[in-house]
Structure formats: C-alpha cells, structure tokens
Structure 1
Amino acid sequence: MTSWPDTIVLIHGPWMKPIAWERWADRYQARGFTVLTPEYPEMSSGVVSECREEASKVSGLGVDDILDHLSTVIENLPTPPIIMGHSIGGTLAQLLIGNGLGAAGVSIAGGPVRGMGGLPLSKLRSILPILNDFSIMHQEIALTIQDFRDIFANCLEKRASQWVYDRYVAPTPARIIFQSGLAPYVPHAATAFDFYNNDRAPLFFISGEQDQIFPAVVQRRNYEMNAMHSTAIAAYAIFDGRDHFIFGEPGWESIADTALAWSLAPRAGTLQVN
C-alpha cells in the first residue's frame, strides 16, 4: 500500500449486533481512523430487545443480500478501507476482498468458503447441529444463554457471558449459517471464492484455539489454500485459549492491535502472536 487507509469497516457475524464492535471502534477511532460498523440489510438498528421481537423480518436473508449491501457501503467510500469481520462476518470480509474491494482484509474466526474442504461434513454438523435440519433454513435462529455459554463464549466467565448476551446477542437468519457452513460441499455456493486470484488485497486469517463453532482448522485450511494457489499476501495466526467470542473476551485488545498492525504492514506466513 502506498499510503495507509483511513477507514476501517467492521462486519459482525451471526447472533451479534454491530454494537459488539464498540470497544474496537473506540480503540481505532482513538488512533484517528474512521470506523464503520454496518448492519445487515432489513435488520433492526435498535437495541437487542427490539431485534429479538422483530427477528422474523430477516428470516430469509442470505449471504448474497448481505454481500450486496456491504459492497454498496464500501464502494461509496472515497478510498479503499481495511475490512475486518468476525465469524461469517469474516467470511464476508474475505469475499469482499476477493471481489476487489478493500485495501486489506482480516477474517477473525471466519467460516469456510466454497472450494477449501478440510473439515469433514460429519464434524461440521456435530459443531453446528442446525445443519441437520433443513426445514429451518428460511427461519431465524436464536441462541439461548446456555447455547451462548456452551458454544460461542465457552471461555467466558458466567457473569460476563450474561452481560454480553443481554447487550449484544440477537437472532440471526438461519440461511446464512447453512450457506457458510455447507459452502465446501455445495456446488455454486454463495460463498464461492477464487483461491487463484493474484490481484486481491492481502488477507489475514485469525483463529481462536478454543473456538467450538469454527475450529482453528477451518481458518488454517483457508489460509493454506490461499498461500498455496495465489501470489497475493496471505497470513495466519492462532491465539491460545480463545473461543469464538475472540474479539470481545478479555484480552481482545491484543487481537484488535494485531489485526490493525498487520493491515497497515501486511506480511505473509504464519505469525507468532501469544
């Protein structure tokens, strides 16, 4: 990059609201960056309680709908931003970078994309049992507090997890879970990605070692496919003792700082971070 980007776009993932990025936004704004945290289309911009009441509005929302919306947001910016995303938000960040948008991309605990393989379907279905029930594909899915503690924030202390749940957690469209989770096994998947693209901006894949939704093997395989087939910069890092809520649990500052430092000076390979 000839000059540093001045804008950072933070994309939330399933079951999270954009406000979940509030501490990252404050931290980056204090560094002088403009920070955008766009909502998914049709989703209520209100507080979590309103989103839970109006969840049916987003029941049919898919990856293409969200990707088109985010593309419009980014295309209207004066200069290419840094794009970061968590969970399927990380997948969306990768797809946006693959589509020629953004100066650098960071996928944090991201989901699989079409063509990467690496995780047996039986294993993925054991992690995300909703993938066994296609009847709910066009519905919205809520997480109970126990679900959140067991699979999303399994390293978080009980009292803290309740606070996070009450402030950030809202129902999510089931369709995006199916589209991302089954991407490696479905022809013409909505999350198709060109691993041979030499012209894309740099991509950084970050994993949490204790992630029970998208285990570290998912991001590792994604990184390896990019490093193997493209001359564009790809990097990978795994943080020990971190779960799927890696961007919000104690120690989130090191994730945020690592992501930004790399985005401003991308380098290829596996990075030592802990």
Structure 2
Amino acid sequence: MPTGSTVLFIHGLWLHASSWDPWIDLFRTAGYQPAAPGWPGDPETVEEARADPEAIADHGIDDVVAHYAKIIDGLAERPILVGHSFGGMIAQKLLGQDLAAAAVAIDAAQIKGVLPLPLSALRSTLPVFRNPANRHRAVTLTAEQFRYAFGNAISEEESLELYTRWTIPAPGKPLFEAAAANFDPHSPAKVDTANEMRGPLLLISGGRDHTVPETVTRATLKQYRHSDAVTDLIDFPDRAHSLTIDHGWREVADTCLSWLGRNGL
C-alpha cells in the first residue's frame, strides 16, 4: 500500500468541521498535509451553520460519500481518512471502495450488519427519531441533549463549553438510513468489509460512549472477519463521544499518529 501524507478529517453529526482544528495543527507538525472539508451544505463557520440549518438538511449517507469521493478525486494521492461518528462510517465506506490509503474510524456510527442497539444509543438519537419529518430536516441538540450524547464523561462546564463552541444542526436523514440498514438490501450504510486489498483500518471506541457504545464498535470489528487486511481496535475505557474535542483529545490523536507510523503511513 503506497505511503501517503495527505489526511482528510471527516466530522460526524452535530459538530462543525472546524472542531478538527487542533488535530490539523498536530498532524501538520507531524509532517502530514491535513484538511477538514465539511459535509455538503456545511458553511465555513459554526455561526453560519446555526443561522441557516436548512442548508445542511436532507443530505444522506450516499450524498456525503459522493462529496468526499469528489474531493479525493482532486488529490494527487489517496489520503488517510480520520472520521468521527458518522464521519467514521463515511471513512470506512471510502476505504472499502479503495479511495483511501488508510482510515481511522473513531466511535463510528453503525454500519449495515451491526446488530446491537443499546438503549443509550436510542436515547442519544431520540431528538431526531421523535419526529418522522426530521428525516428531511436539520435537527439541533440542546445543551442537555449534547451532555448526554457527547459530554457524559466530562464536567458539565466543559460539556457546555464544547456545545457552545462547536455544535451545529445536523441532517436527520443519515440516522434514519442507518436505523433501517439491516432491513434494506441496498442500504447506503453498507460497507465493503470483505475487501482484501484495502488499506489498514483502525477502529477506536470510548468505553463510556452513550451514542456509539463499545459493544457497537466491537460488533463492527466482527464485520471485518472475512478480510485479511489490517483491522485494529483500540479502546479508551473512560472516554465518551466527545473524545475528539474534549480536554483529552491529544491522547486520542497521538494514538492515531502512532498507529499510522506502525503501518508505514
């Protein structure tokens, strides 16, 4: 697998692409060429995204995959992908399509074939699922909802600070698509987990994550059992869904850099 230095960071629901800024600085210092392009419809700033939520609405998984595939097509080399939450699912799909040199999927959303559906995950996504019309809308979390879904392993003060700094409305469509994945033979949440020729994949889980509990990540790892390509799992037992943006982000980022180094990337 060719070595690359380009890194694309892919955010998940409810966080703006600028939430990757500390990671970009760190990866650039480590010698990579990092960037964090937003999802289709994402404005340049958090403030703009909050002011115009409908610009983000009604984008599904396939739309986001096609958006990043087009970005990759304009690059000189296949990039390394680092995705969080739904960004982790998108990274896995692109890796399975051989569009990336490697991928890191942090607390990645459920792909097709993953069966566990913990109650905490249902509660975390209830703000979207409580209204079927949200499939075509953008949904905003309250500070209390963010605290449960993202910030349950940090202080209330830090959770509120992260909520104020980084959160934006998110399209409901990807969640509805993921929820129906195991009943849809053509689900956009399907990943080519049997690809033998793909680059290395690192799955990262947070042991206290309410939104993507550790059981979901371990079930995702099992989906790759038919491929001999490198697939690793690293767990952070005391971390929750905010692990990429809270005070402990550097430990997670350094772990990713070490793993990339071990894999010749």
1:112–1:184 contact (8 Å) kept in structure 2: no
Aligned with residue 189 of structure 1, among 184, 187, 192:
187
> 1:194: Cα distance to partner?
2.0
Unaligned runs of 5+ in 2: none
Distance 2:257 2:229 in 1: 18
Counterpart amino acid of 2:122? Answer: R
Counterpart amino acid of 1:71? Answer: A
2:207–2:213 contact (8 Å) kept in structure 1: yes
Instruction: Report how many aligned residue pairs link the two structures.
Output: 263
What does residue 40 of structure 1 align with? 39
What does residue 67 of structure 2 align with? 69
The answer to whether residue 196 in structure 2 is matched with residue 219 in structure 1 is no
SS of 2:111's equivalent in the other structure is coil
Deviations 1:221-243 (A, max 9, x none): 111220x2111111111101100
Counterpart amino acid of 1:93? Answer: A
Q: Tell me the TM-score normalised to structure 1 length.
A: 0.90
What does residue 139 of structure 1 align with? 137
> 1:12: Cα distance to partner?
0.5
Distance 2:253 2:119 in 1: 33
What does residue 247 of structure 2 align with? 250
The answer to whether residue 91 in structure 2 is matched with residue 93 in structure 1 is yes
Superposed, which structure 2 residues align to 1:1-274 within 5 Å? 1-3=1-3, 5-46=4-45, 48-114=46-112, 116-120=113-117, 124-129=121-126, 130-131=128-129, 133-226=131-224, 228-266=225-263
Distance 2:117 2:147 in 1: 25
> 1:123: Cα distance to partner?
7.0
Deviations 1:40-61 (A, max 9, x none): 1122112x22211100122111
Distance 1:224 1:32 in 2: 33
SS of 1:229's equivalent in the other structure is coil
> 1:135: Cα distance to partner?
2.4
CA RMSD across the alignment: 1.8
SS of 2:199's equivalent in the other structure is coil
Distance 1:101 1:168 in 2: 28
> 1:180: Cα distance to partner?
2.7
SS of 2:136's equivalent in the other structure is coil
Counterpart amino acid of 2:26? Answer: R
2:103–2:202 contact (8 Å) kept in structure 1: yes
1:210–1:241 contact (8 Å) kept in structure 2: yes
> 1:151: Cα distance to partner?
1.8
Distance 1:123 1:10 in 2: 26
2:114–2:223 contact (8 Å) kept in structure 1: no
Identity of aligned residues (%): 30
- The 3 A distance-change label for structure 1 pair 181 and 51 is same
2:120–2:211 contact (8 Å) kept in structure 1: no
